[in-house]
Amino acid sequence: QVQLVESGGGSVQAGGSLRLSCAASGYTYSNRYMGWFRQAPGKEREGVAVLGTGDGRTYYADSVKDRFTISRDNVRNTLYLQMNNLKPEDTAMYYCAADCWGSTRTVATMAANYWGQGTQVTVSS
């Protein structure tokens, strides 16, 4: 059974940083994507960043490029999202996801088969 448990959310002022963590268990597939998604109130869930579990390549939504970094610790089986220069429009519930699918050319439109419970990120101006 796949379990994804996020942590690290919180409230920060614009320009600040947060690091989200996702402890993964039961997910043994290789050559797939793991990633982070977010959903703001009244909006659809969108992809933020994904990482290939086979080759380690990373892909980002245009809205977060050069500000967010996705990474993975294979020993701890943990996925991270380092978020810098946060903006009020980054406010959302952030979800860890496994077995992501779709086009990496448009990360925002990707989807996934497994989800964590989410962690809230709030950025004030």
For the beta carbon of residue 50, count every other beta carbon within 10 angstroms.
27
Condensed to tens digits (0 to 9), the pLDDT of residues 27-82 reads 877 778 999 999 999 999 999 999 999 899 999 999 999 999 999 998 999 999 99
Q: What is the pLDDT of residue 32?
A: 87
In DSSP terms, which residues pair with 34 in a beta bridge? 51, 98
In DSSP terms, which residues pair with 56 in a beta bridge? none
Average per-residue pLDDT in the chain?
A: 95
Dist. CA 34–CA 15, nearest whole Å: 26
For the beta carbon of residue 54, count every other beta carbon within 10 angstroms.
11
* Residues 34 and 72: beta-carbon distance below 8 Å: yes
Dist. CA 30–CA 36, nearest whole Å: 17
Sequence-distant (≥ 6) Cβ neighbours of residue 73 within 8 angstroms: 80
Longest dimension (CA), the chain: 41
Q: What is the pLDDT of residue 27?
A: 80
